[in-house]
A and B are shown apart, each in its own frame.
Chain A
Amino acid sequence: MATSGTTLPNAGPVTGSRSFLSRLRDGDEIARLITMVFAATVVLITLLLVYELWTNSALARAKFGLHFFVTQVWDPVIDQYGALPFMYGTLVTSAVALFIAVPLGIGAAIFLAELAPPRISDTLQFFIDLLAAVPSVIYGLLGVFIVVPLMRTVIFPGLNKPLGFLPFFKGPSYGVGFLTAGIVLAIMVIPYIISVSREVLLSVPRDQREAALALGSTRWESTWNVVVPFAKTGILGSIFLALARALGETMAVTMVIGNVPTISASLFSPGDSIASVIANQFTEATGDLYLQSLVALGLVLFLMTFILNGLARLLIVVTTQRGSGVPT
């Protein structure tokens, strides 16, 4: 759904003294037109998506308006729908996922790109690509069979005893919930962060490293103070790619989040997410308003992704302007 934050400088079509006809004969113009049509489909699909979500949620938008964003009730019996608990669940699980995945992913990428011998790096990269291609339902099963029991028997007692005074770690724990979903999401998005960040780090010019080493830096100083800042934009891009995946993940989340629309500070509490509730309830949604409210939830998710992507762009613009690196 989202694109990564990396941008390429636009070369633009070659224009000059040659006439349109001669360029057409050479094939340049044909290639340009065809590829332009392909590029335009991306825009068209996005617009179509928004249009469909917008028109098919008309009833819900008319009935609930902006209250949809702040209503906590989701009751198909009395036809009352609100998005708040689902938005909360989507944001919390994604935040937990990034909190775990970002340090792990970037750390691993630095090792693979800078410190590991090339053979190990390439072998590991193969496994990482493999992990990125595993269907999400498999991660859901992993969550159900490993993370959920572990959560109930090890992680919950381990966190609740010393930190139970904090609202985030209050019990009881059923094994399923925000934290479980966040952990499963983290496992799912780590390969993206590693894979993209490693590529970005590898593309940092050799000169940069050599210059740092020539100035007397250690290997780690050159990596941390020169290479990583140089690649910052691309690494940020990898994080936002991971975030986009986490926001929209459906199947794996449904299997471990508990599917209860609640807002609770406790990470052990069961919750629900936008993508999960749509997948759960769409087929049996009988009333028009019910169905349209589910579509409206889809619109909300689109909006959230859109805003977060906008913020990502902004962040990249701000960091590159500070002069710490160039866009990769």
Chain B
Amino acid sequence: MKRVAVLVVGILALGAMVWAQNPLLINGAGATFPYPIYSKWFDEYHQKNTNTEFNYQSVGSGAGIRQVTEGTVDFGATDGPMNDDQLKAFQAKRGSGILHFPTVLGAAVPTYNVPGVSGALNFTPEALAGIFLGKITKWNDPAIAGANKGVNLPANDIVVVHRSDGSGTTYIWTDYLSKVSDEWKSKVSKNTSVNWPVGLGGKGNEGVTGLIKQTPNSIGYVELIYAAQNNIPYGAVKNSSGNFVKADLAGVSAAAAGAAKEIPDDFRVSITNAPGKNAYPISSFTWLLIPQKFQDAGKREAVKGFLKWMLTDGQNYAESLSYAKLPKEIVEKEKKAINSIQ
């Protein structure tokens, strides 16, 4: 009985301590792809600013957009920018706008399992669109073989593998195919999940990779970080300058730099197939969604403080976690945008 009493007092004391410190808690929810770096950032930022604590739940981009619109969280995060309807819904519900802040960059890469082929294959946009539309059905099709001189491609049927779950990676991939193929744009278009003309679905990067490893003559796409961390071989893709680029962090940042000139003030932009000699064409930003108006001045200042830190010191954490950094041009532009948060 005595022990119980001590325990109760202890818990109460602990609760009182937590209560007394009472750091400002800012809640966010959204994309899973940037979760590793976001949690690193929020942790580092909290250690430097102990009176502010960020709590981020990686529930998916769709849920992030919904929750920030409903007002159940202070900010959202997404791998695909909000569309005009979603912006209107936010405006109608909350009476003010919402801002997109690019944080880091990601990319999708083609990965494959072709018996007898060990090196990296080159893919033209036409070949990728043709394969995923189901029009190119053999590995030795001239559209593939033409870009891979000297590689002995078999005459086997291609098995396409895609994501079965809704995903930012699918958004990037289909956004790219929509840009390089009119037929893809009209037949399938872009989204976090689409009505695929052909292929099998795997859940998550690991599901796609598993299916590809097990299925001879298959091709699919995975997140660059996942491919890099798991040593999954992937191919090079021809960019808008005509160069075959094998994705790496520099190539992804180059795509953002190449697109920087045309980036609109709201940052809602796709940078797939961006100009630039070294730009990797299937790259994308991932965004934080910050309401333009905060009721709570403390939260507003904390969020602005975090955004400034994220754009400067925070960027240094990106590459160690395999994310591509924002190019300078974008950082400068975003710093200006922070001032419009009221």
Inter-chain CA distance A71–B87, complex, in Å, is: 30
Scoring A residues 62 to 82 as 1 if CB is less than 8 Å from chain B, else 0, what string do you get? Answer: 000000000001111110000
Chain B residues with CB under 8 A of A55: none
Check if B214 is an interface residue, CB within 8 A of chain A: yes
Q: What is the distance, in angstroms, from B204's C-beta to the closest C-beta of chain A?
A: 9
A76 in contact with B194 (CB, 8 Å): yes
Q: What is the distance, in angstroms, from B215's C-beta to the closest C-beta of chain A?
A: 6
Chain A residues with CB under 8 A of B66: 286, 291
Of A76, A172, A260, A270, which is within 8 A of B192 by CB? A76
A77 in contact with B61 (CB, 8 Å): no
A285 in contact with B159 (CB, 8 Å): no
CB within 8 Å of A: which of B171-188? 188
Check if B189 is an interface residue, CB within 8 A of chain A: yes
Q: What is the distance, in angstroms, from B72's C-beta to the closest C-beta of chain A?
A: 15
Number of interface residues of B (CB under 8 A): 36
Tell me whether A286 and B65 are in contact in the complex, defined as CB-CB below 8 angstroms, given that A174-B159, A175-B215, A270-B200 are known contacts. yes
Check if B164 is an interface residue, CB within 8 A of chain A: yes
Inter-chain CA distance A283–B195, complex, in Å, is: 17
Inter-chain CA distance A74–B195, complex, in Å, is: 6
CB within 8 Å of A: which of B209-242? 210-211, 214-215
Q: Which single residue of chain A is at the shortest CB-CB distance from B215?
A: A174
Check if A182 is an interface residue, CB within 8 A of chain B: no
> For the complex, would chain A's binding face be called helix, strand, loop or mixed by DSSP majority?
loop
Of B164, B189, B192, which is within 8 A of A259 by CB? B164
Check if A207 is an interface residue, CB within 8 A of chain B: no
Q: What is the distance, in angstroms, from B212's C-beta to the closest C-beta of chain A?
A: 11
Check if B202 is an interface residue, CB within 8 A of chain A: yes
B166 in contact with A283 (CB, 8 Å): yes
CB within 8 Å of A: which of B35-78? 59-63, 65-66
Inter-chain CA distance A278–B23, complex, in Å, is: 37
Chain A residues with CB under 8 A of B190: 77
A176 in contact with B211 (CB, 8 Å): yes
Scoring A residues 268 to 302 as 1 if CB is less than 8 Å from chain B, else 0, what string do you get? Answer: 00101000100111011111000100000000000
Number of interface residues of A (CB under 8 A): 31
Inter-chain CA distance A255–B168, complex, in Å, is: 20
Chain B residues with CB under 8 A of A280: 164-166, 193, 201, 203
A284 in contact with B167 (CB, 8 Å): yes
Chain B residues with CB under 8 A of A281: 165-166, 193
Check if B207 is an interface residue, CB within 8 A of chain A: yes
Chain A residues with CB under 8 A of B60: 283-284
A283 in contact with B215 (CB, 8 Å): no
Q: Which of A148, A172, A254 has the most CB of B within 10 A?
A: A254
Check if A149 is an interface residue, CB within 8 A of chain B: yes
Check if A237 is an interface residue, CB within 8 A of chain B: no
Check if A235 is an interface residue, CB within 8 A of chain B: no
Tell me whether A75 and B201 are in contact in the complex, defined as CB-CB below 8 angstroms, given that A280-B166, A283-B60, A284-B166 are known contacts. no
Check if B86 is an interface residue, CB within 8 A of chain A: yes
Check if B191 is an interface residue, CB within 8 A of chain A: yes
Tell me whether A254 and B164 are in contact in the complex, defined as CB-CB below 8 angstroms, given that A174-B215, A259-B201, A283-B63 are known contacts. yes
Chain B residues with CB under 8 A of A287: 85
Chain B residues with CB under 8 A of A175: 214-215
Inter-chain CA distance A285–B207, complex, in Å, is: 19
Check if B101 is an interface residue, CB within 8 A of chain A: no
A77 in contact with B164 (CB, 8 Å): no
B215 in contact with A286 (CB, 8 Å): no
B59 in contact with A283 (CB, 8 Å): yes
A286 in contact with B86 (CB, 8 Å): yes
CB within 8 Å of B: which of A163-179? 172, 174-176
Inter-chain CA distance A287–B83, complex, in Å, is: 10
Check if B126 is an interface residue, CB within 8 A of chain A: no
Q: Which single residue of chain A is at the shortest CB-CB distance from B157?
A: A172
Tell me whether A286 and B61 are in contact in the complex, defined as CB-CB below 8 angstroms, given that A255-B203, A255-B207, A280-B164 are known contacts. yes
Scoring B residues 256 to 268 as 1 if CB is less than 8 Å from chain A, else 0, what string do you get? Answer: 0000000000000
Chain A residues with CB under 8 A of B130: none
Inter-chain CA distance A92–B166, complex, in Å, is: 25
Check if B97 is an interface residue, CB within 8 A of chain A: no
Q: Which of B201, B202, B210, B214 has the most CB of A within 10 A?
A: B201
Check if A258 is an interface residue, CB within 8 A of chain B: yes
Check if A87 is an interface residue, CB within 8 A of chain B: no
A285 in contact with B62 (CB, 8 Å): yes
A259 in contact with B166 (CB, 8 Å): no
A260 in contact with B203 (CB, 8 Å): no
Inter-chain CA distance A212–B214, complex, in Å, is: 55
Check if A144 is an interface residue, CB within 8 A of chain B: yes
Q: What is the distance, in angstroms, from B70's C-beta to the closest C-beta of chain A?
A: 12
Tell me whether A283 and B165 are in contact in the complex, defined as CB-CB below 8 angstroms, given that A77-B191, A149-B214, A258-B201 are known contacts. yes
B62 in contact with A258 (CB, 8 Å): no
Check if B154 is an interface residue, CB within 8 A of chain A: no
Check if B280 is an interface residue, CB within 8 A of chain A: no
Q: Which of A175, A260, A286 has the most CB of B within 10 A?
A: A286
Q: What is the distance, in angstroms, from A160's C-beta to the closest C-beta of chain B?
A: 15
| B binding-site residues for A, Cβ under 8 Å | 32, 59-63, 65-66, 85-86, 157, 159, 164-168, 188-196, 199-203, 207, 210-211, 214-215
Q: A259-B203, A280-B201 are in contact. List 11 more A-B contacts (CB 8 A).
A: A76-B166, A76-B193, A76-B195, A77-B188, A77-B195, A174-B200, A279-B165, A283-B32, A283-B166, A284-B62, A284-B166
| A binding-site residues for B, Cβ under 8 Å | 73-78, 144, 148-149, 152, 172, 174-176, 254-255, 258-260, 270, 272, 276, 279-281, 283-287, 291
